[in-house]
Amino acid sequence: MSWRPDAEPGRGGARGALALIFLSAWAAGGAPTAAATPATTAPAAGAPAPKPAHAAGSDVIARVNGSPVLRRDFDLLVQVQFRQRGPGQRRHEDLDAVRGAALDALIDSELLYQRAAQAKITVDDAEVRAEAAKLRGLLGSPDEAAAFLKESGMSDRDLEDQVRRTLVVKRFVDRDVAPGLEVTEAQAHAWYDAHPGEVARPESVRISQIVVRVASGADAATRADRRRKAEEILKELAAGKDFAEMARLHSDGAEAKRDGDVGWVWAGGGALPPVERAALALQAGQTSDIVESRRGFHIIKATDRRPAGPIPFAEASEKITARLLDEQRDERVRVFVADLRRGARIEKVG
């Protein structure tokens, strides 16, 4: 299970969250869990992540029963899946496997969507807008969300269309393909006992932060002005101002809505390297000096700290149960989609 210290559904993993809208066949009941966001991803080792082909955004790479699968969606999913691989699996020779898996996933998703549409599954507009807003929030500020969507060749309408498809497929899978799934406590405990190496967590620090963002390409004068603002905030904190209140008032990131809370940081967990180093040097209750990164200037407070070690079953059981339910669901979907493929017209044209 690649255990993450208290990774919360929907927090972190913005690229993984966007991958979800293209992987509705396989994410019917899950939540995105990737750790790297556009603001926190460290440079990948090995081969660089493939870039989206912007000019080919509307090109068709396959047709499923006559319906197109767009190259734009394929390029984004390849990029996401490649970034989510471990450093040892980011070689150029691994790219072909990623491309094949991504195209198969999009074809399967289209087959499921077509079947859900035949079953007259619908989702109301308010639910679509709410889910799309959550995804934008995962990408950071409104400007960061807009920039990521633009980079990926997507409009707001494209995002909402993909969210609608995902919700339709999820509802169909839950109702018609994989209803009544169940994992007993005994099954969860058996998995826990059999996988001791997968139910351990690294030493980690929970942090809150205040970010004074500096735009990419800002000149020296602008950067100096932004640093002065960070220094003023730090002085107010030293004078006794409440960190959570200052984060709400002054932080330029999505963490402002959470009183500055970022969650747990651990070595190699995907945080910006300067933020990771500063966080791991803090004891609970301590606040850092100003930390400079490519995103801007950070003031970090450690709110909790815990050593590496095994996770008690009571704490791990919820995630284990969710994993086992996902495995059951995936198997039912796999069998169902294999049957759909046998009767489908699938043409790979890209």
Provide the percentage of residues in the chain whose pLDDT is more than 90. 59
C-alpha to C-alpha distance for 77 and 102, rounded to whole angstroms:
6
- The burial class, CB within 10 Å (0-12 / 13-18 / 19+), for 343 is exposed
Same fold, 14-185+314-348 and 203-306: no
Q: What is the mean pLDDT of the chain?
A: 82
pLDDT-derived band at 84, boundaries 50, 70, 90: low
CA atoms within a 13 Å half-sphere pointing along the CA-CB vector of 7 = 21
Average pLDDT of 6-12? 37
Answer yes or no: is pLDDT of 327 > 90.
Answer: yes
Q: Across-strand partners of 290? A: 299
Residue positions counted in the chain:
350
pLDDT, position 90: 61
- Per the DSSP assignment, residues forming a β-bridge with 292 are 297
Residue-level pLDDT at 210: 97
Q: Where are the domains of the chain?
A: 14-185+314-348, 203-306
Residues contacting 148, CB < 8 A, separation 6+: 14, 18, 38, 139
Name the CATH superfamily housing domain 14-185+314-348: Porin chaperone SurA, peptide-binding domain (1.10.4030.10)
Contacts of 183 (CB under 8 A, 6+ apart): 321, 324, 325, 328
How do residues 153-177 score in pLDDT, each as one tens digit?
788 898 898 889 889 999 999 999 9
Q: How far is CA 28 from CA 88, 114, 145, 303, in A?
A: 29, 15, 24, 34
Residue 216 CA to residue 223 CA, distance in Å, equals: 10
Whole-angstrom CA distances from 249 to 118, 143, 210, 224, 252 are 49, 18, 9, 21, 9
Residue 270 backbone class (left: φ over 0; alpha: ψ -120 to 50; beta: rest): left
Q: Are strands 296-306 and 204-213 parallel, antiparallel or unpaired?
A: antiparallel
Helix (H, G, I), strand (E, B) or coil at 306: strand
Q: What is the pLDDT of residue 89?
A: 58
**pLDDT tens column, 223-273:** 999 999 999 999 999 999 999 999 999 999 889 999 999 999 999 888 999
> Of 333, 305, 100, 81, whose CA–CA distance to 203 is shortest?
305
Q: pLDDT value at position 48?
A: 44
pLDDT confidence band for 83 (50 / 70 / 90): low
Instruction: Extract the tokens encoding 46.
Output: 């090995």
The pLDDT of 4-25, averaged and rounded, is: 41
pLDDT in tens, 264-318: 999 988 899 999 999 999 999 999 999 999 999 999 999 999 999 999 999 999 9
Query: What confidence score (pLDDT) does residue 86 get?
Result: 59
Tell me the C-alpha distance between 105 and 218, whole Å: 40
161: tokens are: 């269309």
Going by their DSSP bridges, the two strands 287-293 and 60-64 should be labelled as: unpaired
pLDDT, one tens digit per residue, over 47-67 is 444 444 443 446 899 999 999
CATH 3.40.50.300, domain 203-306, yes or no: no
pLDDT tens digit sequence for 127-142:
999 988 888 877 777 8
Q: What is the pTM of this model?
A: 0.66
Query: Given the structure tokens 């996401």, which residue do they identify?
Result: 80
